[in-house]
Amino acid sequence: MALPGDCGRLTWRSWHAPPEEPTAKHMKDKDKRPRFSSLRQFSWSGSKDKGEDERLIESTVLEWYEQKHRKPSPEEIDFINSIPIRDCPHCRSRLFARHGKGANGIQRYMCLGCGRRFTPLTGTIFDSRKIPISEWIEFLLHLFEYHSLKTSANDNRNAETTGGYWLSKVFAVLRGIQRDVVLRGTVWADEKLFDAPNAAKERAKAKTGSSLSRGCQYYVATATDGDLAIFIVMGRSKPSDKSCMRTYGRHIAEGSALIHDGEPSHSSFIDALALRSDVHTSAETKGLRDSENPMDPINDIHDKMEKFMSAHPGYDRSRLQDWMNLFWFVWCTPGDKMDKVKAFLKLAISKRIRIKFRDVYGKKGGDS
């Protein structure tokens, strides 16, 4: 059966073949001319006699285009221009002057030291952005609500690679965010385990010739005082005196009370910090209702952490600490999800971090 118009020349195989994902390599022909016409160009664009079907298609596609390529709103321009400037992002000179505004209304500055121009966003993760910051707000809300990058990309009408690229920027902003956290008073502590990918388990079994996949679990030290918390990756070995002291020792105040499951290696930092130890083994707490379980505050964190990571099953385990920093931000930042977005934007703008797309996808893809 022939298909309408030119489509009649398509074979069954070509008609049903999955669409090829455009890449930078084949977006242009051998003469470096664009292979694909603009989304806003139609074969009837120059026609004065457009049919009703052509008008419908054109208006629909243009509406899609505007949704995917929104311009910064007046509120976004005001927000960007309100960002205080401390120094030149290029040379750190504090001598600079206003240098007019761009066509988009964003304030520009001229450094009197190095002579280079910059805007309030230069040197931040929003530098050279092609998508308005308002798109970031939607992305962050999804991230804080335990959405996967795939569902977020579908909702935001962005490519999955865009989500992976933005996630790398989020990780960069949050890196080191737990460094100065100190828990005080009554502290609950335990370790959370995450499995390595199945492929890594199979390789470990083949290498050792054993049915046990040793070294294929990641241990995360978790502790909370009911207000703040820490989520620190300890490694793939079972907790030791050394790893516990290194991980917990700098994050719990001396003289605090520690509620834990009696892990023997905990004694290293309990003794060093003169903590009051209150042990509740898993055998003791098994089957207890949450309201009766003395380990419930840390168990609740483990439950939420599991759900958060389950939304990203293909994550790169080498970036597990980055994921824990993100979960820490979601868990410990006061307020609702809108307050967390506000806090992240403030933090991101305060940090001089610039990550290029090719830095993330130049050699291999990001997390899924």
CB burial readout 323-361, b (16+ within 10 A) else e: bbbbbbbbbbbeeeeeebbeebbeebbeeeebbeeeebe
pLDDT at 133: 87
- The pTM for the full model equals 0.77
8 Å CB contact between 147 and 330? no
| Average pLDDT, integer, range 56-75 | 79
pLDDT digits (tens, 9 = 90+) for 275-316: 999 999 999 999 999 999 999 999 999 999 999 998 887 788
Which of 19-28, 207-216, 345-354 has the highest mean predicted lDDT (pLDDT)? 345-354
d(CA 200, CA 190): 25
Alpha-carbon distance values, 239 to 144, 185, 191, 257, 346 (Å): 30, 24, 8, 20, 36
Structure tokens at 101: 């505004």
202 pLDDT tier (thresholds 50, 70, 90)? low
**How high is the pLDDT of residue 12?**
42
Cα–Cα dist 131/344, whole Å: 18
pLDDT score recorded for residue 368: 37
Please give the average per-residue pLDDT across 34-52, as a whole number: 73
In this prediction, residue 72 carries a pLDDT of: 81
pLDDT > 90: what percent of the chain?
Answer: 56
Confidence (pLDDT) at 22: 43
What are the chain's domains? 186-310 (3.30.420)
**pLDDT tens digits along 250-281:** 999 999 999 999 999 999 999 999 999 999 99
Query: Closest Cα partner for 52 from 60, 63, 41?
Result: 60
Q: What is the pLDDT of residue 156?
A: 61
Over residues 239-255, the mean pLDDT reads 96
**Range from 157-166, 231-240, 242-251, 331-340 carrying the lowest mean pLDDT:** 157-166
Helices (H), the chain: 12-16, 52-68, 74-81, 133-144, 149-156, 160-174, 198-208, 241-248, 267-272, 282-285, 296-310, 320-332, 337-350, 357-361
**For 65-69, 72-76, 243-247, 262-266, which range has the lowest pLDDT when averaged over its residues?**
65-69
Q: What's the confidence (pLDDT) of residue 158? A: 66
